[in-house]
A = this chain, B = another copy of it.
Amino acid sequence: MTAPPTTPPSTQAKPDDLRAFSRSLPMALLKAREAVMARFRPLLREHDLTEQQWRVLRALTTLDGLRAGELARASCISMPSLSRILKTLEKRGLTARTAEDGDLRAVQIAITGEGRRLVARIGPHSEQRYAEITQAFGARRLEDLYAQLEALTACLTADGEPPLADED
């Protein structure tokens, strides 16, 4: 009873639901992400940047003058977190806010010259780590993995979940 319906191909004799636990998709994604980030964290730490701060700067380098909401989506950071992160980055003089003309609610975020210089300094090293990972895992396999991850994300975010359930 309560047999995990996943029924993966190669299975041993294990206490029934243990395997279902260690074979958790969120865990697998978490571990993979951790393994990847471990390659980048030391580099960012050298420049006193967190992973998320780096994502914000990186996004602004490409897409400057974004509104906060757009920046949040582009960097995969929630608005509350972004608010705090921008406060920190502004204190360091790496970004700046400016109110939008037409809409006084909106704020446009820009990266400063100093911010750009920092990204320019770190960028090449980051690319190098990326190249190492690509080489270690294989460029083709990596492309394949990208495709599968995007497919999974699309498959789960597109629809499938009725907008809202019911009971609190």
| Chain A residues close to B by CB (< 8 Å) | 2, 4-9, 15, 17-18, 20-40, 42, 51, 55, 58-59, 61-67, 70, 73-74, 76, 123-124, 127, 130-134, 136-137, 139, 141-146, 148-153, 155-157, 160-161, 165
List B contacts of A67 (CB < 8 A): 4
Residues of B near A76 (CB, < 8 A) are 27, 30-31, 34
Q: How far is the CA of A32 from the CA of B157 in the complex (A)?
A: 9
Q: Within 8 Å CB of A22, what residues of B?
A: 74
Cα(A20)–Cα(B124), bound, Å: 12
Which of B6, B27, B137 meets A130, CB within 8 Å?
B6
Contact B146 A2 (CB under 8 A): no
Give me 6 A-to-B residue pairs in the complex whose CB atoms sit less than 8 angstroms apart, sorted by A's number.
Answer: A4-B67, A5-B130, A26-B51, A29-B33, A136-B160, A145-B149
Closest chain B CB from A33 CB (angstroms): 4
Partner of A165, one of B39, B42, B58, B61: B42
Query: Which B residues are in CB contact (< 8 Å) with A142?
Result: 25
Main SS at interface, chain A: helix
A34 to B6, CA, bound (A): 21
Contacts of A152 in B (CB 8 A): 32, 35-36, 137, 145
In the complex with contacts A26-B40, A149-B32, A62-B21 CB distance below 8 A: yes
Contact A2 B153 (CB under 8 A): no
In the complex, which residue of chain B has the Cβ closest to the Cβ of A22? Answer: B74
Indicate which residue in B31, B134, B161 contacts A5 across the interface (CB closer than 8 Å).
B134
Bound CA–CA A73/B21 (angstroms) = 13
